[in-house]
Amino acid sequence: MVKIVVDPKCTGCETCANTCPVGVYELKDGKCVASKESECLVCRACEAQCPEGAIQVIE
């Protein structure tokens, strides 16, 4: 099972949402959240593209 941690330093830029091929992320209260964590492919594109380094995908 995959766990996705979005650090509070997230600025809500939506880079992760725009990068994720399966739409795991959505914007809530100005921050990105992993609302469909179970659909994560563990491609780690969100980790690589996040300009703040605010995302961690844990297997």
Could you read off the pLDDT of 1-56 as tens digits, one per residue?
899 999 999 999 999 999 999 999 999 999 999 999 999 999 999 999 999 999 99
CATH for 3-58 is: 3.30.70.20
Q: What residue ranges do the domains of the chain occupy?
A: 3-58
Supply the pTM of this predicted model. 0.89
Rounded Cα–Cα distance for residues 54 and 46 (Å): 9
